[in-house]
Amino acid sequence: MSEQKTRPQVPDGRSRFVLTRQKQPNEKGFVGYEVIWDSFQKEVKYQTPKRP
């Protein structure tokens, strides 16, 4: 009588700095989401200043 409900597959959500993906359901049927952040700033290699 009680059937296992399935959730529809959601496409990846993309914005400027964030990517959101749907995870696989666990044994209880909970579907989570994974959030991946891109870096806001670029890192530049440090150079020592010139000596006078």
Task: Give pLDDT tens digits along the chain (52 positions).
Answer: 556 667 678 888 899 999 999 988 888 878 889 999 998 888 899 999 998 8
| CB 19 within 8 Å of CB 33 | no
For residue 37, the 8-state DSSP code is: E
Give the Å distances, CA to CA, from 36 to 6, 24, 29, 46.
Answer: 25, 16, 23, 27
Question: What integer pLDDT is reported at residue 2 of this predicted model?
Answer: 58
d(CA 14, CA 36): 10
Q: State the amino acid at position 17 in one-letter form.
A: F
